[in-house]
Amino acid sequence: MVSQYSLGKDHVFEVRDKDVLGRVGRLHTKSGVIETPCLLPVIHPANQIVTGKEMQDMGFQAIMTNAYLTRRAFGFDIDRGIHELLDFDGVIATDSGAYQILTYGEIEADQAEIITFEERIRSDIAVILDIPTGLTTNRRHAERTVSETIKRADQALMTITEKDILWVGPVQGGTHFDMVAQCAREMNSRSFPILALGSPTQVMEQYMYRELVQMILTCRENISPSIPLHLFGGGHPSMLALAVSLGCDLFDSASYAIFARNNRYMTTNGTVRLDDLEYLPCSCSICRKSDVRDLKTSPPSEKTRKLSIHNLNVLIEEIRRIKQSTIEGRLWELVMQRVRAHPKLYEAVHVLSRYRALFEKHSPMTKKRGVFFFDRLDLSRPEIVRFRTRVTNEYLPPEGSKTIVLLPTPTTRPYYADNAVKKVLKSADEQALHICFFKIPYGIFPMELGDVFPVAQTEASKQLDSNVLRDTAEAVVQYLGRFRNSQIILHISDENLSRTILSKVKGLCKKTNQKLRISYGGGDAWRDEAVESLCTALREVEKSRKQTAPRLRK
């Protein structure tokens, strides 16, 4: 089933499932359909540690190579197409040589020659020859690269003759986020069916994940959601889930081979030096059949090849895990697991709070599974942000209710079916009360919303820090602040959340002159004695209301 996203330019991209900003989609090319998110291993055209055929047998639907290096190795008048050259029947993307410009300053080819060559070798996906910004603090340099990239994009669109190739428009600007936004808008306005975020490689090499997150999100919020986004050079398993959750659909990387040449062994939590391993913690075809000592003592070329195959297996396994997590609505949880692999990744995820509205806008309204809440990072979850915002800004209480009864959540679900809650409802006129519950992480919610998603489908850890308690209490106060003429009955226990809410509500009532009545439940707010005390308070309020109502009418 195609999602609410429209198909991409020329109807090449459709979305099947989504979670956070991540999507499981289908990208249509002239050589077939690939499923996204998709990692394209970069393969050297003249030095294949692992062949294209082997990668296809491992399950990779697409690979990437460098058109400029291919041209240098085999000449412009190559007779074979790129599929025959690399022995790969799937989708092949070609980079233009821009990375060589970033590394060496220039290449021995112009854009028209590169585009003509990419058409000649019959690429499925091809990148125009842009000018990478790289990692630089020089704003003038960033401006020049953006200006030149946009200029070259227009020239490329006039040069291109093969319309069945999916041409990629790069977005430059580096860590100058306003430049990224400008370039993204310009590229989005042109007819490229795929856009790609350029210059992240040096950022990732320096573990500047905070900047990477901002680069990706700045790009994503300035392009159409119907356009797939390629992250150049993104290829370590520990960061793939995060990048997908930010809206990246395609990745390319030669990391599997680069790490292998340096005797480095990939895992989802980082990269380990082979010499430091006593065991091979993997069940791929290499690790299942090899002993760690034999692998360490293998000839260099054999060791590099085996490590490359292992690394590729780890990468494709992680991509499949990300897809499954997206379909299940568990992508956020996977991201929170992965960012704990490195302190710099963990720091980067704190940036997400600035983009809560963007995540909420594009995340699904409902999910197949419930929500797990662990710590303050989860306060930026789209489901939580959406529910809080709508309850606070849009919910209207029962007409005529002047008393807000604020209760902790009981153990029975749905909450209104709990026997203790039923007893409370019988003790007073329900129509005259606005009955709400407080709960981590939602703050407050009216009783009638207690069985809707995501409130009734949330499991929260009880080991929470003061930041979560304070944030939850502030959400309660924000809601109560809408009803300045109401009386508040707060039923609390000895738990930390109750005490934090009591402190915040007292402060609110002092500012607004709202009346506050506290019903104390001790260690268990729902034990019989505590419930009876609450019922007594409600009956007294009801009695007072009935006595006051005739005088008011007179």
Q: Check residue 330 and give its pLDDT.
A: 94
Distance between CA atoms of residues 451 and 414, nearest Å: 6
Catalytic residue, from 17, 95, 124, 252: name it: 95
Report the 3 state secondary structure along 18-57: EECCEEEEEEEECCEEEEECEEEEECCCCCCCCCHHHHHH
pTM, 2 dp: 0.91
Tell me whether residue 429 is one of the annotated catalytic residues: no
Vertex 309 angle, CA 58 and 122, to 5°: 55
Q: What is the location of CATH 3.40.50.10630 in the chain?
A: 381-553
CB atoms within 10 A of CB 23: 28
Q: Check residue 345 and give its pLDDT.
A: 94
Distance between CA atoms of residues 286 and 300, nearest Å: 16
Q: Check residue 8 and give its pLDDT.
A: 44
CATH 3.40.50.10630 fits 381-553, yes or no: yes
CATH top class, domain 9-358: alpha beta
Q: Are 167 and 156 in contact (CB under 8 A)?
A: yes
Task: Tell me the residue ranges of DSSP E strands in 292-429.
Answer: 371-373, 403-408
> Beta strand 32-36 with 22-29: parallel, antiparallel or unpaired?
antiparallel
CB atoms within 10 A of CB 223: 22
Q: Check residue 123 and give its pLDDT.
A: 96
Give pLDDT tens digits along the chain (554 positions).
333 333 346 579 999 999 999 999 999 999 999 999 999 999 999 999 999 999 999 999 999 999 999 999 898 888 889 999 999 999 999 999 888 887 777 788 899 999 999 999 999 999 999 999 988 889 999 999 999 999 999 999 999 999 899 999 999 999 999 999 999 999 999 999 999 999 888 899 999 999 999 999 999 999 999 999 999 999 899 999 999 999 999 999 999 999 999 999 999 999 999 999 999 999 999 999 989 999 999 999 999 999 999 999 999 999 999 999 999 999 999 999 999 999 999 999 999 999 999 999 998 888 888 899 999 999 999 999 999 999 998 888 877 778 899 999 998 888 888 899 999 888 877 677 889 999 999 999 999 898 889 998 899 988 888 899 999 999 999 999 888 777 899 999 988 999 999 999 999 998 988 889 998 888 889 999 999 989 988 888 877 767 665 544 44
